[in-house]
Structure 1
Amino acid sequence: MTTTTPAAAVPEASSLTARRRRTTLWLVAPGVIWMTLFLVLPILMMVYVSFWTQTTFKVEPILTTKSWVTFFTSETYLGALWTTIRIWLTVLAATIIVGYPTALFVGLFVRNKTLQTVLLVLCVIPFWTSFLIRVLAWRPMLGKEGAINLILQATGITTAPIEALLFSELSVVIGMTQIYCVFMVGPIAFMMGRIDQNVIEAARDLGAGFGRIFRTVILPLSMPGVVVGAIFVSVMVLGEFATAAALSGRKVNMLGNIIVTQVGSLKWAFAAVVGVVLTVLMGAVVAGLLRVVNLRKEL
Protein backbone atom coordinates (compact mmCIF):
# COMPACT_ATOMS: atom_id res chain seq x y z
CA MET A 1 0.00 0.00 0.00
CA THR A 2 1.46 3.39 -0.95
CA THR A 3 0.77 6.80 0.50
CA THR A 4 0.76 10.02 -1.43
CA THR A 5 1.55 13.48 -0.16
CA PRO A 6 -1.41 15.84 -0.45
CA ALA A 7 -0.88 18.49 -3.09
CA ALA A 8 -1.61 21.24 -0.58
CA ALA A 9 1.27 20.09 1.66
CA VAL A 10 3.94 20.88 -0.97
CA PRO A 11 3.24 24.65 -1.19
CA GLU A 12 2.92 24.77 2.59
CA ALA A 13 6.35 23.16 3.05
CA SER A 14 7.89 25.53 0.49
CA SER A 15 6.34 28.50 2.27
CA LEU A 16 7.73 27.31 5.62
CA THR A 17 11.20 26.88 4.10
CA ALA A 18 11.04 30.38 2.60
CA ARG A 19 10.01 31.89 5.96
CA ARG A 20 12.87 30.13 7.70
CA ARG A 21 15.32 31.40 5.07
CA ARG A 22 14.05 34.96 5.50
CA THR A 23 14.30 34.67 9.28
CA THR A 24 17.87 33.40 8.97
CA LEU A 25 18.79 36.28 6.67
CA TRP A 26 17.29 38.84 9.06
CA LEU A 27 19.23 37.33 11.98
CA VAL A 28 22.51 37.25 10.05
CA ALA A 29 22.11 40.69 8.44
CA PRO A 30 23.12 42.85 11.48
CA GLY A 31 26.36 40.91 11.94
CA VAL A 32 27.17 41.01 8.24
CA ILE A 33 26.50 44.77 8.06
CA TRP A 34 28.60 45.41 11.18
CA MET A 35 31.54 43.33 9.90
CA THR A 36 31.32 44.98 6.48
CA LEU A 37 31.27 48.53 7.83
CA PHE A 38 33.84 48.16 10.60
CA LEU A 39 36.16 45.41 9.32
CA VAL A 40 36.00 44.78 5.58
CA LEU A 41 35.67 48.39 4.41
CA PRO A 42 38.45 49.75 6.70
CA ILE A 43 40.81 47.01 5.52
CA LEU A 44 39.96 47.71 1.86
CA MET A 45 40.48 51.44 2.48
CA MET A 46 43.84 50.75 4.11
CA VAL A 47 44.92 48.67 1.11
CA TYR A 48 43.76 51.44 -1.24
CA VAL A 49 45.62 54.19 0.69
CA SER A 50 48.79 52.09 0.69
CA PHE A 51 49.03 52.69 -3.06
CA TRP A 52 48.64 56.48 -2.83
CA THR A 53 51.51 58.77 -3.77
CA GLN A 54 53.32 60.06 -0.67
CA THR A 55 55.28 63.30 -0.85
CA THR A 56 57.10 65.14 1.91
CA PHE A 57 54.17 67.25 2.99
CA LYS A 58 51.08 65.57 1.55
CA VAL A 59 49.58 62.36 0.20
CA GLU A 60 47.67 62.24 -3.08
CA PRO A 61 45.22 59.58 -4.39
CA ILE A 62 47.48 58.82 -7.35
CA LEU A 63 48.14 55.09 -7.37
CA THR A 64 51.75 53.96 -7.16
CA THR A 65 53.76 51.09 -5.65
CA LYS A 66 56.55 53.33 -4.37
CA SER A 67 55.64 52.87 -0.68
CA TRP A 68 55.56 49.09 -1.09
CA VAL A 69 58.93 49.08 -2.82
CA THR A 70 60.37 51.26 -0.05
CA PHE A 71 59.17 48.85 2.63
CA PHE A 72 60.47 45.67 1.02
CA THR A 73 63.82 47.17 -0.03
CA SER A 74 64.67 48.90 3.25
CA GLU A 75 66.75 47.01 5.81
CA THR A 76 65.23 49.14 8.56
CA TYR A 77 61.63 48.16 7.84
CA LEU A 78 62.42 44.52 7.05
CA GLY A 79 64.41 44.44 10.29
CA ALA A 80 61.32 45.71 12.15
CA LEU A 81 59.31 42.91 10.53
CA TRP A 82 61.76 40.22 11.65
CA THR A 83 62.03 41.81 15.11
CA THR A 84 58.24 41.68 15.43
CA ILE A 85 58.16 38.01 14.43
CA ARG A 86 61.06 37.14 16.75
CA ILE A 87 59.54 38.90 19.78
CA TRP A 88 56.14 37.34 19.04
CA LEU A 89 57.59 33.82 18.95
CA THR A 90 59.63 34.44 22.12
CA VAL A 91 56.72 35.91 24.08
CA LEU A 92 54.36 33.18 22.84
CA ALA A 93 56.78 30.47 24.01
CA ALA A 94 57.35 32.26 27.33
CA THR A 95 53.63 32.66 28.05
CA ILE A 96 53.04 28.97 27.32
CA ILE A 97 55.98 27.93 29.55
CA VAL A 98 54.78 30.12 32.40
CA GLY A 99 51.03 29.91 31.84
CA TYR A 100 50.53 26.20 31.17
CA PRO A 101 51.84 24.93 34.56
CA THR A 102 49.85 27.68 36.29
CA ALA A 103 46.67 26.69 34.46
CA LEU A 104 47.40 23.01 35.12
CA PHE A 105 47.59 23.68 38.84
CA VAL A 106 44.52 25.92 38.98
CA GLY A 107 42.32 23.93 36.63
CA LEU A 108 43.23 20.37 37.60
CA PHE A 109 44.83 20.15 41.01
CA VAL A 110 42.69 22.73 42.80
CA ARG A 111 39.39 20.95 43.35
CA ASN A 112 37.66 23.74 45.31
CA LYS A 113 35.75 25.93 42.84
CA THR A 114 35.86 28.95 45.15
CA LEU A 115 39.62 28.69 45.47
CA GLN A 116 39.91 28.31 41.68
CA THR A 117 37.95 31.53 41.22
CA VAL A 118 40.11 33.35 43.78
CA LEU A 119 43.33 32.24 42.07
CA LEU A 120 42.06 33.30 38.63
CA VAL A 121 40.99 36.68 40.04
CA LEU A 122 44.50 37.12 41.45
CA CYS A 123 45.83 36.64 37.91
CA VAL A 124 43.53 39.40 36.69
CA ILE A 125 44.33 41.91 39.48
CA PRO A 126 47.09 43.67 37.46
CA PHE A 127 44.41 44.64 34.91
CA TRP A 128 42.78 46.81 37.56
CA THR A 129 45.51 49.38 36.88
CA SER A 130 46.36 51.30 33.73
CA PHE A 131 48.23 49.49 30.96
CA LEU A 132 50.94 52.18 30.89
CA ILE A 133 51.41 51.97 34.65
CA ARG A 134 51.93 48.20 34.39
CA VAL A 135 54.48 48.73 31.62
CA LEU A 136 56.38 51.56 33.29
CA ALA A 137 56.41 49.69 36.62
CA TRP A 138 59.05 47.39 35.10
CA ARG A 139 61.56 50.23 34.78
CA PRO A 140 62.41 50.46 38.51
CA MET A 141 62.38 46.65 38.63
CA LEU A 142 64.79 46.08 35.75
CA GLY A 143 67.10 49.11 36.06
CA LYS A 144 70.75 48.93 37.10
CA GLU A 145 69.72 49.91 40.62
CA GLY A 146 66.37 48.17 40.37
CA ALA A 147 64.92 45.50 42.62
CA ILE A 148 66.02 42.54 40.48
CA ASN A 149 69.65 43.66 40.22
CA LEU A 150 69.76 44.43 43.94
CA ILE A 151 68.44 40.96 44.79
CA LEU A 152 70.90 39.27 42.41
CA GLN A 153 73.84 41.14 43.92
CA ALA A 154 72.66 40.66 47.51
CA THR A 155 72.41 36.89 47.03
CA GLY A 156 75.83 36.74 45.35
CA ILE A 157 74.48 35.53 42.00
CA THR A 158 76.02 38.55 40.25
CA THR A 159 78.76 40.96 41.29
CA ALA A 160 77.67 43.86 39.07
CA PRO A 161 74.35 45.12 37.74
CA ILE A 162 73.07 43.45 34.57
CA GLU A 163 72.55 46.36 32.18
CA ALA A 164 70.80 44.18 29.58
CA LEU A 165 67.74 43.87 31.83
CA LEU A 166 66.48 47.31 30.79
CA PHE A 167 66.31 49.18 27.49
CA SER A 168 66.82 46.00 25.49
CA GLU A 169 64.82 43.35 23.67
CA LEU A 170 64.99 41.22 26.82
CA SER A 171 63.14 43.85 28.83
CA VAL A 172 60.44 44.02 26.15
CA VAL A 173 59.99 40.23 26.26
CA ILE A 174 59.83 40.24 30.08
CA GLY A 175 57.23 43.03 30.13
CA MET A 176 55.03 41.46 27.44
CA THR A 177 55.22 38.02 29.04
CA GLN A 178 53.98 39.39 32.36
CA ILE A 179 51.27 41.52 30.77
CA TYR A 180 49.82 38.88 28.42
CA CYS A 181 50.43 35.67 30.37
CA VAL A 182 46.95 35.84 31.89
CA PHE A 183 45.43 35.52 28.41
CA MET A 184 47.15 32.15 28.16
CA VAL A 185 46.26 31.00 31.68
CA GLY A 186 42.52 31.69 31.38
CA PRO A 187 41.62 29.56 28.33
CA ILE A 188 43.88 26.68 29.38
CA ALA A 189 42.47 26.66 32.93
CA PHE A 190 38.95 26.65 31.47
CA MET A 191 39.73 23.58 29.34
CA MET A 192 41.46 21.89 32.28
CA GLY A 193 38.33 22.38 34.36
CA ARG A 194 36.28 20.54 31.69
CA ILE A 195 38.40 17.39 31.85
CA ASP A 196 36.42 14.55 33.44
CA GLN A 197 38.27 13.37 36.55
CA ASN A 198 36.89 9.87 35.92
CA VAL A 199 39.02 9.64 32.76
CA ILE A 200 42.16 10.41 34.74
CA GLU A 201 41.18 7.96 37.47
CA ALA A 202 40.57 5.27 34.86
CA ALA A 203 44.03 5.89 33.41
CA ARG A 204 45.55 5.57 36.89
CA ASP A 205 43.65 2.33 37.51
CA LEU A 206 45.14 0.95 34.28
CA GLY A 207 48.63 1.65 35.63
CA ALA A 208 49.48 4.86 33.77
CA GLY A 209 51.81 7.27 35.51
CA PHE A 210 51.38 11.05 35.53
CA GLY A 211 53.70 11.49 32.55
CA ARG A 212 51.68 9.15 30.35
CA ILE A 213 48.37 10.57 31.59
CA PHE A 214 49.63 14.05 30.75
CA ARG A 215 50.71 13.06 27.23
CA THR A 216 47.67 10.99 26.30
CA VAL A 217 44.83 12.66 28.24
CA ILE A 218 45.57 16.08 29.69
CA LEU A 219 47.61 17.64 26.87
CA PRO A 220 45.28 16.62 23.99
CA LEU A 221 42.17 17.73 25.90
CA SER A 222 43.74 21.07 26.85
CA MET A 223 45.05 21.92 23.36
CA PRO A 224 41.96 23.99 22.41
CA GLY A 225 42.73 26.23 25.40
CA VAL A 226 46.36 26.53 24.30
CA VAL A 227 45.28 27.51 20.78
CA VAL A 228 42.78 30.10 22.04
CA GLY A 229 45.38 31.54 24.41
CA ALA A 230 47.97 31.57 21.61
CA ILE A 231 45.54 33.50 19.37
CA PHE A 232 44.91 36.09 22.11
CA VAL A 233 48.61 36.53 22.86
CA SER A 234 49.64 36.56 19.19
CA VAL A 235 47.17 39.24 18.12
CA MET A 236 48.09 41.53 21.03
CA VAL A 237 51.87 41.05 20.78
CA LEU A 238 51.98 41.52 17.00
CA GLY A 239 50.09 44.80 17.33
CA GLU A 240 52.22 46.08 20.24
CA PHE A 241 54.04 49.40 20.25
CA ALA A 242 53.76 50.92 23.75
CA THR A 243 55.68 48.22 25.63
CA ALA A 244 58.48 48.16 23.07
CA ALA A 245 58.82 51.96 23.17
CA ALA A 246 58.71 52.23 26.98
CA LEU A 247 60.98 49.33 27.96
CA SER A 248 63.50 49.43 25.13
CA GLY A 249 64.17 53.15 25.15
CA ARG A 250 63.04 53.13 21.50
CA LYS A 251 65.92 50.79 20.66
CA VAL A 252 63.52 48.01 19.58
CA ASN A 253 61.31 48.82 16.62
CA MET A 254 58.29 46.64 15.95
CA LEU A 255 55.79 47.13 13.14
CA GLY A 256 53.43 48.86 15.56
CA ASN A 257 56.13 51.43 16.37
CA ILE A 258 56.69 52.05 12.65
CA ILE A 259 52.97 52.72 12.16
CA VAL A 260 52.87 55.18 15.08
CA THR A 261 55.92 57.02 13.76
CA GLN A 262 54.60 57.24 10.21
CA VAL A 263 51.15 58.42 11.31
CA GLY A 264 52.80 61.05 13.53
CA SER A 265 54.73 62.24 10.47
CA LEU A 266 51.49 62.30 8.43
CA LYS A 267 52.86 59.65 6.07
CA TRP A 268 49.55 57.88 5.69
CA ALA A 269 50.46 55.84 2.61
CA PHE A 270 53.50 54.21 4.17
CA ALA A 271 51.65 53.67 7.46
CA ALA A 272 48.93 51.89 5.44
CA VAL A 273 51.58 49.64 3.84
CA VAL A 274 52.87 48.59 7.25
CA GLY A 275 49.29 48.12 8.45
CA VAL A 276 48.49 45.82 5.53
CA VAL A 277 51.65 43.78 6.16
CA LEU A 278 50.79 43.50 9.86
CA THR A 279 47.18 42.50 9.07
CA VAL A 280 48.34 39.79 6.64
CA LEU A 281 50.84 38.52 9.23
CA MET A 282 48.14 38.36 11.92
CA GLY A 283 45.74 36.61 9.56
CA ALA A 284 48.37 34.01 8.63
CA VAL A 285 49.21 33.37 12.29
CA VAL A 286 45.56 32.98 13.35
CA ALA A 287 44.78 30.76 10.34
CA GLY A 288 47.79 28.57 11.15
CA LEU A 289 46.78 28.23 14.80
CA LEU A 290 43.20 27.35 13.87
CA ARG A 291 44.51 24.45 11.77
CA VAL A 292 46.10 22.91 14.87
CA VAL A 293 42.76 22.26 16.58
CA ASN A 294 39.17 22.33 15.28
CA LEU A 295 37.78 24.82 17.83
CA ARG A 296 34.18 24.44 16.59
CA LYS A 297 34.33 20.74 17.38
CA GLU A 298 36.24 20.99 20.63
CA LEU A 299 34.43 23.96 22.17
Structure 2
Amino acid sequence: MSVLSAEAVGEAHRESFWRRHLHVFLLAPGVAWMVLFLIVPLIMMVYVSFWTQTTFAINSTLTTKSWSTFFASETYYGALVRTLRLWLTVLALTFIAGYPTALFIGQFVRNKTFQTVLLVTCVIPFWTSFLIRVLAWRPMLGKEGAINIVLEKLGLISGPIEVLLFTELSVIIGMVQIYVVFMVGPIAFMLARIDDSLLEAARDLGASPMTIFRKIIFPLSLPGVVVGAIFVSVMVLGEFATASALSGRKVNLLGNIIVTQVGSLKWAFAAVVGVVLTAVMAVVITGLLRLVNLQKEL
Protein backbone atom coordinates (compact mmCIF):
# COMPACT_ATOMS: atom_id res chain seq x y z
CA MET A 1 0.00 0.00 0.00
CA SER A 2 2.84 2.37 0.83
CA VAL A 3 4.44 1.79 -2.61
CA LEU A 4 1.14 2.45 -4.36
CA SER A 5 0.62 5.55 -2.25
CA ALA A 6 4.08 6.85 -3.15
CA GLU A 7 3.42 6.26 -6.84
CA ALA A 8 0.04 7.99 -6.60
CA VAL A 9 1.61 10.95 -4.84
CA GLY A 10 4.33 11.15 -7.48
CA GLU A 11 1.79 10.97 -10.29
CA ALA A 12 -0.33 13.67 -8.64
CA HIS A 13 2.77 15.84 -8.19
CA ARG A 14 3.73 15.48 -11.86
CA GLU A 15 0.17 16.25 -12.96
CA SER A 16 0.11 19.30 -10.70
CA PHE A 17 3.44 20.46 -12.17
CA TRP A 18 2.13 20.18 -15.74
CA ARG A 19 -1.05 22.05 -14.81
CA ARG A 20 0.88 24.85 -13.12
CA HIS A 21 3.25 25.27 -16.06
CA LEU A 22 0.88 24.45 -18.93
CA HIS A 23 0.62 28.10 -19.96
CA VAL A 24 4.42 28.26 -20.24
CA PHE A 25 4.54 25.31 -22.64
CA LEU A 26 1.65 26.69 -24.68
CA LEU A 27 3.26 30.12 -24.97
CA ALA A 28 6.78 28.88 -25.68
CA PRO A 29 6.43 28.26 -29.47
CA GLY A 30 4.77 31.64 -30.07
CA VAL A 31 7.26 33.50 -27.90
CA ALA A 32 10.20 31.78 -29.59
CA TRP A 33 8.79 32.66 -33.02
CA MET A 34 8.28 36.32 -32.05
CA VAL A 35 11.77 36.60 -30.57
CA LEU A 36 13.51 34.98 -33.55
CA PHE A 37 11.55 36.62 -36.34
CA LEU A 38 10.48 39.96 -34.83
CA ILE A 39 12.55 41.07 -31.86
CA VAL A 40 15.95 39.90 -33.14
CA PRO A 41 15.45 41.38 -36.66
CA LEU A 42 14.35 44.70 -35.13
CA ILE A 43 17.43 44.79 -32.90
CA MET A 44 19.64 43.97 -35.87
CA MET A 45 17.99 46.68 -37.96
CA VAL A 46 18.61 49.29 -35.27
CA TYR A 47 22.21 48.10 -34.92
CA VAL A 48 22.91 48.17 -38.67
CA SER A 49 21.42 51.68 -38.92
CA PHE A 50 24.46 52.94 -36.99
CA TRP A 51 27.04 51.26 -39.21
CA THR A 52 29.38 53.34 -41.34
CA GLN A 53 28.22 53.45 -44.95
CA THR A 54 30.54 54.46 -47.77
CA THR A 55 29.76 54.60 -51.47
CA PHE A 56 30.73 51.01 -52.22
CA ALA A 57 31.14 49.40 -48.79
CA ILE A 58 29.80 49.18 -45.26
CA ASN A 59 31.55 48.36 -41.99
CA SER A 60 30.43 47.86 -38.40
CA THR A 61 32.04 51.05 -37.06
CA LEU A 62 29.22 52.83 -35.26
CA THR A 63 28.21 56.31 -36.40
CA THR A 64 25.11 58.50 -36.59
CA LYS A 65 25.92 59.78 -40.08
CA SER A 66 23.08 57.87 -41.78
CA TRP A 67 20.60 59.24 -39.24
CA SER A 68 21.85 62.78 -39.77
CA THR A 69 21.58 62.36 -43.53
CA PHE A 70 17.97 61.21 -43.28
CA PHE A 71 16.68 64.06 -41.14
CA ALA A 72 18.88 66.73 -42.77
CA SER A 73 17.76 65.87 -46.30
CA GLU A 74 14.62 67.54 -47.57
CA THR A 75 14.06 64.61 -49.94
CA TYR A 76 13.96 61.95 -47.25
CA TYR A 77 12.15 64.06 -44.67
CA GLY A 78 9.66 65.00 -47.41
CA ALA A 79 9.09 61.29 -48.09
CA LEU A 80 8.22 60.82 -44.42
CA VAL A 81 5.73 63.70 -44.51
CA ARG A 82 4.27 62.43 -47.80
CA THR A 83 3.90 58.93 -46.39
CA LEU A 84 1.98 60.27 -43.39
CA ARG A 85 -0.18 62.50 -45.58
CA LEU A 86 -1.14 59.67 -47.94
CA TRP A 87 -1.77 57.37 -44.99
CA LEU A 88 -4.20 59.82 -43.39
CA THR A 89 -5.94 60.42 -46.72
CA VAL A 90 -6.30 56.73 -47.57
CA LEU A 91 -7.39 55.90 -44.02
CA ALA A 92 -10.11 58.57 -44.12
CA LEU A 93 -11.33 57.54 -47.58
CA THR A 94 -11.40 53.82 -46.77
CA PHE A 95 -13.50 54.63 -43.71
CA ILE A 96 -15.86 56.89 -45.68
CA ALA A 97 -16.28 54.28 -48.42
CA GLY A 98 -16.16 51.22 -46.19
CA TYR A 99 -18.41 52.12 -43.27
CA PRO A 100 -21.66 52.55 -45.28
CA THR A 101 -20.95 49.26 -47.05
CA ALA A 102 -20.31 47.49 -43.76
CA LEU A 103 -23.43 49.11 -42.26
CA PHE A 104 -25.54 47.78 -45.11
CA ILE A 105 -24.08 44.26 -44.81
CA GLY A 106 -24.16 44.13 -41.01
CA GLN A 107 -27.49 45.81 -40.28
CA PHE A 108 -29.72 45.92 -43.34
CA VAL A 109 -29.01 42.42 -44.66
CA ARG A 110 -30.67 40.03 -42.24
CA ASN A 111 -29.97 36.80 -44.08
CA LYS A 112 -26.67 35.34 -42.86
CA THR A 113 -26.04 33.50 -46.10
CA PHE A 114 -26.51 36.68 -48.12
CA GLN A 115 -24.19 38.52 -45.71
CA THR A 116 -21.51 35.90 -46.37
CA VAL A 117 -22.04 36.16 -50.13
CA LEU A 118 -21.62 39.96 -50.00
CA LEU A 119 -18.45 39.71 -47.90
CA VAL A 120 -17.01 37.10 -50.28
CA THR A 121 -17.87 39.42 -53.16
CA CYS A 122 -15.79 42.14 -51.50
CA VAL A 123 -12.71 39.91 -51.49
CA ILE A 124 -13.07 38.62 -55.07
CA PRO A 125 -10.38 41.08 -56.29
CA PHE A 126 -7.92 39.30 -53.99
CA TRP A 127 -8.24 36.20 -56.15
CA THR A 128 -5.93 37.93 -58.62
CA SER A 129 -2.36 39.12 -58.18
CA PHE A 130 -1.80 42.32 -56.19
CA LEU A 131 0.39 43.70 -58.98
CA ILE A 132 -2.25 42.98 -61.62
CA ARG A 133 -4.86 44.83 -59.57
CA VAL A 134 -2.54 47.82 -59.29
CA LEU A 135 -1.56 47.88 -62.96
CA ALA A 136 -5.20 47.49 -64.01
CA TRP A 137 -5.73 51.12 -62.95
CA ARG A 138 -3.37 52.40 -65.66
CA PRO A 139 -5.75 51.85 -68.60
CA MET A 140 -8.55 53.20 -66.42
CA LEU A 141 -6.88 56.44 -65.32
CA GLY A 142 -4.75 57.36 -68.36
CA LYS A 143 -5.45 60.33 -70.65
CA GLU A 144 -6.98 57.90 -73.12
CA GLY A 145 -8.28 55.62 -70.40
CA ALA A 146 -11.78 54.38 -69.71
CA ILE A 147 -12.67 57.12 -67.21
CA ASN A 148 -11.69 59.97 -69.50
CA ILE A 149 -13.45 58.36 -72.47
CA VAL A 150 -16.70 57.94 -70.52
CA LEU A 151 -16.59 61.50 -69.17
CA GLU A 152 -15.95 62.90 -72.65
CA LYS A 153 -18.79 60.83 -74.14
CA LEU A 154 -21.13 62.20 -71.47
CA GLY A 155 -20.00 65.74 -72.26
CA LEU A 156 -18.79 66.35 -68.70
CA ILE A 157 -15.26 67.29 -69.82
CA SER A 158 -13.89 68.83 -72.99
CA GLY A 159 -10.44 67.27 -72.74
CA PRO A 160 -8.76 64.43 -70.86
CA ILE A 161 -8.05 64.88 -67.15
CA GLU A 162 -4.29 64.45 -66.86
CA VAL A 163 -4.04 64.37 -63.06
CA LEU A 164 -5.72 60.96 -62.85
CA LEU A 165 -2.49 59.08 -63.59
CA PHE A 166 1.13 59.40 -62.47
CA THR A 167 0.21 61.67 -59.56
CA GLU A 168 -0.53 61.33 -55.85
CA LEU A 169 -4.22 61.17 -56.77
CA SER A 170 -3.70 57.98 -58.77
CA VAL A 171 -1.79 56.43 -55.85
CA ILE A 172 -4.60 57.33 -53.47
CA ILE A 173 -7.26 55.89 -55.81
CA GLY A 174 -5.34 52.64 -56.17
CA MET A 175 -4.69 52.26 -52.44
CA VAL A 176 -8.29 53.00 -51.46
CA GLN A 177 -9.64 50.42 -53.90
CA ILE A 178 -7.15 47.80 -52.75
CA TYR A 179 -7.45 48.28 -49.00
CA VAL A 180 -11.08 49.34 -48.44
CA VAL A 181 -12.09 45.69 -47.95
CA PHE A 182 -9.87 45.54 -44.84
CA MET A 183 -12.06 48.28 -43.37
CA VAL A 184 -15.35 46.68 -44.44
CA GLY A 185 -14.73 43.23 -42.94
CA PRO A 186 -14.07 44.07 -39.26
CA ILE A 187 -16.78 46.75 -39.15
CA ALA A 188 -19.39 44.45 -40.73
CA PHE A 189 -18.46 41.75 -38.20
CA MET A 190 -19.04 44.09 -35.25
CA LEU A 191 -22.26 45.51 -36.70
CA ALA A 192 -23.67 42.02 -37.22
CA ARG A 193 -23.11 41.30 -33.52
CA ILE A 194 -25.37 44.12 -32.32
CA ASP A 195 -28.46 42.72 -30.58
CA ASP A 196 -31.64 43.67 -32.47
CA SER A 197 -33.54 43.94 -29.20
CA LEU A 198 -31.24 46.80 -28.18
CA LEU A 199 -32.16 48.78 -31.28
CA GLU A 200 -35.84 47.91 -30.89
CA ALA A 201 -35.80 49.18 -27.30
CA ALA A 202 -34.26 52.45 -28.45
CA ARG A 203 -36.99 52.87 -31.08
CA ASP A 204 -39.69 52.13 -28.50
CA LEU A 205 -38.24 54.87 -26.30
CA GLY A 206 -38.61 57.35 -29.16
CA ALA A 207 -35.01 57.56 -30.35
CA SER A 208 -34.58 58.79 -33.91
CA PRO A 209 -32.53 56.77 -36.45
CA MET A 210 -29.69 59.30 -36.20
CA THR A 211 -29.71 59.09 -32.39
CA ILE A 212 -29.68 55.29 -32.53
CA PHE A 213 -26.71 55.41 -34.90
CA ARG A 214 -24.84 58.01 -32.84
CA LYS A 215 -25.53 56.53 -29.41
CA ILE A 216 -25.65 52.78 -30.10
CA ILE A 217 -24.56 51.58 -33.53
CA PHE A 218 -21.38 53.60 -34.03
CA PRO A 219 -20.00 53.14 -30.47
CA LEU A 220 -20.60 49.39 -30.68
CA SER A 221 -18.93 49.22 -34.10
CA LEU A 222 -15.90 51.24 -32.97
CA PRO A 223 -13.76 48.14 -32.22
CA GLY A 224 -14.25 47.07 -35.83
CA VAL A 225 -13.29 50.55 -37.02
CA VAL A 226 -10.09 50.39 -34.96
CA VAL A 227 -9.18 46.91 -36.23
CA GLY A 228 -9.84 47.99 -39.81
CA ALA A 229 -7.81 51.16 -39.29
CA ILE A 230 -4.89 49.09 -37.97
CA PHE A 231 -5.01 46.79 -41.00
CA VAL A 232 -5.15 49.70 -43.44
CA SER A 233 -2.50 51.71 -41.60
CA VAL A 234 0.07 48.92 -41.48
CA MET A 235 -0.30 48.14 -45.18
CA VAL A 236 -0.44 51.75 -46.41
CA LEU A 237 2.53 52.90 -44.33
CA GLY A 238 4.66 50.06 -45.73
CA GLU A 239 3.51 50.55 -49.34
CA PHE A 240 5.89 50.91 -52.26
CA ALA A 241 4.50 48.91 -55.20
CA THR A 242 1.33 50.97 -55.71
CA ALA A 243 3.24 54.24 -55.52
CA SER A 244 5.80 53.04 -58.06
CA ALA A 245 3.27 51.63 -60.51
CA LEU A 246 0.68 54.42 -60.46
CA SER A 247 2.89 57.47 -59.98
CA GLY A 248 5.55 56.63 -62.54
CA ARG A 249 8.06 56.76 -59.65
CA LYS A 250 7.17 60.42 -59.08
CA VAL A 251 5.76 59.75 -55.60
CA ASN A 252 8.38 58.39 -53.22
CA LEU A 253 7.19 56.93 -49.94
CA LEU A 254 9.38 55.52 -47.18
CA GLY A 255 8.84 52.03 -48.60
CA ASN A 256 10.16 53.15 -52.00
CA ILE A 257 13.27 54.62 -50.38
CA ILE A 258 13.96 51.34 -48.57
CA VAL A 259 13.68 49.38 -51.85
CA THR A 260 15.98 51.86 -53.62
CA GLN A 261 18.61 51.84 -50.86
CA VAL A 262 18.62 48.06 -50.59
CA GLY A 263 18.99 47.82 -54.36
CA SER A 264 22.00 50.16 -54.09
CA LEU A 265 23.45 48.00 -51.30
CA LYS A 266 23.21 50.91 -48.86
CA TRP A 267 22.17 48.75 -45.94
CA ALA A 268 22.81 51.29 -43.19
CA PHE A 269 20.60 53.98 -44.70
CA ALA A 270 17.91 51.41 -45.57
CA ALA A 271 17.99 50.32 -41.93
CA VAL A 272 17.54 53.93 -40.79
CA VAL A 273 14.43 54.32 -42.94
CA GLY A 274 13.19 50.94 -41.72
CA VAL A 275 13.57 51.96 -38.09
CA VAL A 276 11.77 55.25 -38.73
CA LEU A 277 8.94 53.45 -40.52
CA THR A 278 8.66 50.87 -37.74
CA ALA A 279 8.54 53.63 -35.11
CA VAL A 280 5.80 55.44 -37.06
CA MET A 281 3.77 52.23 -37.28
CA ALA A 282 4.22 51.57 -33.56
CA VAL A 283 3.01 55.08 -32.67
CA VAL A 284 0.01 54.80 -35.02
CA ILE A 285 -1.04 51.37 -33.72
CA THR A 286 -0.56 52.43 -30.09
CA GLY A 287 -2.70 55.51 -30.68
CA LEU A 288 -5.46 53.47 -32.34
CA LEU A 289 -5.45 50.87 -29.57
CA ARG A 290 -5.97 53.62 -27.00
CA LEU A 291 -9.34 54.42 -28.60
CA VAL A 292 -10.84 51.04 -27.70
CA ASN A 293 -9.99 48.19 -25.34
CA LEU A 294 -10.01 45.42 -27.96
CA GLN A 295 -9.45 42.68 -25.36
CA LYS A 296 -12.67 43.68 -23.62
CA GLU A 297 -14.75 44.46 -26.71
CA LEU A 298 -13.80 41.46 -28.85
2:156 equivalent to 1:157: yes
Matches within 5 A, 1:203-242: 203-242=202-241
Residue 265 of structure 2 aligns to a residue whose secondary structure is: coil
Residue identity opposite 1:43 in structure 2: L
Residue identity opposite 1:177 in structure 2: V
1:55 is matched with 54
The structural deviation recorded for 1:145 is: 0.8
CA distance in 2, matches of 1:24, 1:95: 39
The structural deviation recorded for 1:14 is: 9.5
With the length of structure 2 as denominator, give the TM-score of the two structures. Answer: 0.94
Task: Give CA deviations for 1:57-84 in whole Å, capped at 9, x if unaligned.
Answer: 1110110000000001000000000000
CA distance in 1, matches of 2:266, 2:14: 56
Percent of pairs identical after alignment? 74
1:294 is matched with 293
Residue identity opposite 1:171 in structure 2: S
Task: Give CA deviations for 1:74-126 in whole Å, capped at 9, x if unaligned.
Answer: 00000000000000000000000000000000110000111111111110000
2:75 is matched with 76
The structural deviation recorded for 1:18 is: 5.0
The structural deviation recorded for 1:21 is: 3.3
2:98 equivalent to 1:99: yes
Matches within 5 A, 1:160-199: 160-199=159-198
The structural deviation recorded for 1:207 is: 1.0
With the length of structure 1 as denominator, give the TM-score of the two structures. Answer: 0.94
Where structure 1 has 5 or more consecutive residues not aligned to the other structure, the ranges are 1-12
2:27 is matched with 28
CA distance in 2, matches of 1:240, 1:170: 15
Task: Give CA deviations for 1:130-150 in whole Å, capped at 9, x if unaligned.
Answer: 000000000000001111111
The structural deviation recorded for 1:160 is: 1.1
1:260 is matched with 259
Matches within 5 A, 1:8-47: 19-47=18-46
Aligned length: 289
The structural deviation recorded for 1:22 is: 2.1
The structural deviation recorded for 1:158 is: 1.4
2:4 is matched with none
CA distance in 2, matches of 1:135, 1:128: 13
Residue identity opposite 2:146 in structure 1: A
CA distance in 2, matches of 1:273, 1:87: 21
1:282 is matched with 281
Task: Give CA deviations for 1:256-293 in whole Å, capped at 9, x if unaligned.
Answer: 00000000000000000000000000000000000000
Residue 181 of structure 1 aligns to a residue whose secondary structure is: helix
Residue 56 of structure 2 aligns to a residue whose secondary structure is: coil
Residue identity opposite 2:269 in structure 1: F
- Alpha-carbon RMSD across the aligned residues, in angstroms, is 1.6
CA distance in 2, matches of 1:42, 1:108: 43
Residue identity opposite 1:34 in structure 2: W
Where structure 2 has 5 or more consecutive residues not aligned to the other structure, the ranges are 1-11
Residue identity opposite 2:121 in structure 1: L
Residue identity opposite 1:20 in structure 2: R
